[in-house]
């Protein structure tokens, strides 16, 4: 006999609705000024490292799995480096979108005191 699936409690449903509303409200509001500086810097520095690390590990795994000779492995690593350079440059657009740079660049000017 199968057990019935557990229904979410009222507290879980309300907290999920509150979290969804908070995410929607934060997405609708202009990002804070510190976010406009920190987000592109952090993601711009991390994206090439993650991309190149992943491609390097993939090249290492391919060399080990296919039992390639040294020259073929060097060629594979150079190719992975070239692909990593291209992907690092192409990561600018997702970083621009994730960091909401359009909203950051169209912020209202600060009010005079």
Q: Is residue 20 part of a domain?
A: no
Tell whether 54 is covered by a domain: yes
pLDDT of residue 74: 96
Q: What is the pLDDT of residue 2?
A: 61
In a domain, 66, yes or no: yes
Q: Which pTM does this prediction carry?
A: 0.67
The verdict on residue 76 lying in a domain is yes
Quick check: is 71 in a domain? yes
Residue 87 CA to residue 33 CA, distance in Å, equals 28
Residue 81 lies in a domain: yes
Torsion of CA 77, 42, 21, 15, to 10 degrees: 80
3-state secondary structure the chain: CCCCCCCCCHHHHHHHHHHHHHHHHHHHCCCCHHHHHHHHHHHHHHHHHHHHHHHHHHHHHHHHHHCCCHHHHHHHHHHHHHHHHHHHHHCHHHHHHHCCHHHHHCCCCCCCC
Per-residue pLDDT of the chain (113 residues; tens, 9 = 90+): 566 556 667 667 667 777 777 666 666 677 888 999 999 999 999 999 999 999 999 999 999 999 999 999 999 999 999 999 999 999 999 999 999 998 988 877 777 77
Q: Give the pLDDT score at 8.
A: 62
Does 6 map to a domain?
A: no
Domain range for 72 is 44-104
Flag whether 94 is in a domain: yes
Domain tally, the chain:
1
């Amino acid at each position: 006999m199968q057990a019935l699936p557990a229904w979410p409690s009222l507290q879980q449903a309300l907290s999920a609705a509150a979290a969804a509303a908070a995410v929607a409200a934060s997405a609708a509001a202009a990002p804070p000024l510190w976010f406009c500086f920190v987000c592109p810097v952090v993601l711009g520095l991390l994206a090439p490292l993650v991309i190149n690390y992943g491609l390097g590990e993939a090249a290492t795994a391919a060399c080990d799995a296919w039992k390639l000779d040294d020259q073929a492995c060097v060629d594979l690593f150079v190719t992975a480096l070239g692909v990593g350079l291209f992907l690092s440059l192409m990561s600018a657009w997702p970083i621009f979108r994730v960091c909401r740079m359009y909203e950051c660049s169209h912020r209202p000017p600060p009010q005079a005191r």
